[in-house]
Amino acid sequence: MERLTVLLALMALDAGGAETHAVSLAQQLKKRGVHVIIASHGGRLTAELEKSGIDHFALPLDSKSPSSLIRSAMGLSGIVKKFGVDIIHAHARIPAWVSQWVTYYTGCPYITTSHGIYSTSWGMGFLTTWGRRIIAVSEDVKEHLIKNFKVDAGKISVIPNGIDMEKFNPGVDSSQVAQDLGIGPEDYRIVYVSRLMGARGEIALRLIEALPEVQKEFSSAKLIVVGEGDKYEDIKAMAEKYNDSVKDRKVILTGARLDTPRLMNLADVAVGVGRVALEAMATEKPVIIAGEAGFTGILTPENFEPAMEHNFSGRGSDKKTEASVLAKAIKRLLANPEECRKLGEFGRRAVSSYFSIEAMTDRIIEVYHKVLEEVKHETH
């Protein structure tokens, strides 16, 4: 079999769920002998690609201005021709829209991954194309595509984003990070990792609001917020106000970081959604699913399947993420270390069974070959 050449197209490569997944996927594809190339606007994660010897090409795939779209289409077309790309795999709407035009020009087929529930507004609808096949990261994303974008169900494969179990494991040493952040062994650690943008940033504000109630019973509790975004300054202002009021550094903001495994291993309790929840589970941490779409609460064997169906997003819950429910869930976990241990062990087993990057990559490669077989039959 000839060597497969795959081009992954993303908006950018800053720390985020889709971006982290794409880098892990690229690394796994390379291990399997695939020639993998990435194109994006760039960002912090390009350093990971350099370490792995994966080529990255900078294109304005994060912009929908006409000039950027033209530059991106010309750039991707050039990459396809130069390297003999077999298939383009787009991971966001702008890269998918550009890939459509590259397919028209070069004949190279493209597929997309839908990483979440996309807006159906007219402006974004104009920029929404799906390719020959679509990967949905969860069952509710698949239903959204069928219902709201009229996508043929037969073209959709549900393949969750995979987690590197070696990278995210409970044996990662976090001692230096704890020292750098001023966290002592006596401190209870609540870790929230997210893009601090819009409603996701609001969750960090609710966590700060929950902290006084938590500290009534766990006075040494500290909240570590990891990420950046348009809500960062609001979060920073609230954190400083709270820290001043208690005359201690109880809320710690790290900004955007790439050492997520070490930060996650600090946690006594992890709060997050989507990929962050899976990364916490892989490191044997008890997880609270708290998102802008809803509040699932403590992830347990009993609610695991419905949470998985909604990509651990909080969708499907009738509860809102508010300070009171966050405080209650955090206190329950901090008061029950044995329950935390059991939940952590369950979480790692579940991620290993359902979400390992190796298994997900195998399934994605199957989709690539299905598309290439379809193209081959059409041209003969």
Q: What is the pLDDT of residues 104-114, one digit of tens each?
A: 999 999 999 99
Say whether pLDDT at 127 is over 60: no
Output the pLDDT for position 243.
Answer: 98
Output the pLDDT for position 135.
Answer: 96
Both 40 and 154 in a single domain? yes
**Into how many domains does the chain fold?**
2
- For 230-280, give the DSSP string: TTHHHHHHHHHHHHHHHTS--EEEEES-S-HHHHHTT-SEEEE-HHHHHHH
Is 338 domain-assigned?
yes
Output the pLDDT for position 129.
Answer: 87
Is 239 domain-assigned?
yes
Both 361 and 350 in a single domain? no
Both 208 and 138 in a single domain? no
Q: Read off the pTM.
A: 0.88
Q: Is the dihedral of CA 112, 115, 116, 118 positive or negative?
A: negative
Output the pLDDT for position 196.
Answer: 93
Is 229 domain-assigned?
yes
Angle between the 357-378 and 17-31 helix axes, to the nearest 10 degrees? 80
Output the pLDDT for position 258.
Answer: 87
Both 142 and 262 in a single domain? no
Say whether pLDDT at 182 is over 70: yes
Nearest-10 Cα torsion for 66, 72, 78, 84: -130
Say whether pLDDT at 1 is over 70: no
The one-letter amino acid at 105 = Y
Both 303 and 271 in a single domain? yes
Q: Share the mean pLDDT of the chain.
A: 94
Is 226 domain-assigned?
yes
Residue 121: band (very low, low, confident or very high) from pLDDT cuts 50, 70, 90? low
Q: Is the dihedral of CA 291, 296, 299, 301 positive or negative?
A: negative
The DSSP 8-state label assigned to residue 170 in this structure reads T
Residue 123: band (very low, low, confident or very high) from pLDDT cuts 50, 70, 90? low
Is 168 domain-assigned?
no
- Kindly give the residue spans of alpha helices, DSSP state H, lying in the chain: 17-31, 46-52, 66-83, 93-106, 122-126, 139-149, 175-181, 198-217, 232-246, 260-264, 274-282, 304-309, 323-334, 337-354, 357-378
Both 340 and 218 in a single domain? yes
Output the pLDDT for position 50.
Answer: 92
Is 118 domain-assigned?
yes
Is 167 domain-assigned?
no
Both 190 and 239 in a single domain? yes
How far is 166 from 273, CA to CA, in rounded Å? 21
Say whether pLDDT at 193 is over 80: yes
2-52: per-residue pLDDT in tens?
789 999 999 999 877 789 899 999 999 999 999 999 999 999 999 999 999
| Arithmetic mean of pLDDT, 116-130 | 68
State the residue range of the domain holding 71: 5-162+356-378
Both 330 and 370 in a single domain? no
154: CATH: 3.40.50.2000
Both 140 and 186 in a single domain? no
Both 145 and 294 in a single domain? no
Output the pLDDT for position 122.
Answer: 53
227-257: per-residue pLDDT in tens?
999 999 999 999 999 999 999 999 999 999 9
Is 320 domain-assigned?
yes
Output the pLDDT for position 281.
Answer: 98
| Arithmetic mean of pLDDT, 347-375 | 95
Stronger pLDDT, 378 or 125, i.e. the higher one: 378
Output the pLDDT for position 134.
Answer: 96
Q: Are 147 and 120 contacting, i.e. CB atoms less than 8 angstroms apart?
A: no
Say whether pLDDT at 126 is over 70: no
Both 218 and 259 in a single domain? yes
Stronger pLDDT, 117 or 46, i.e. the higher one: 46
Read off the tokens for 366.
């199957």
How far is 118 from 65, CA to CA, in rounded Å? 20
Both 191 and 294 in a single domain? yes
| Arithmetic mean of pLDDT, 294-308 | 96
Strand order in the sheet with 269-272: 251-255, 221-226, 188-193, 269-272, 287-291, 294-298
| Arithmetic mean of pLDDT, 365-375 | 96
| Arithmetic mean of pLDDT, 262-279 | 96
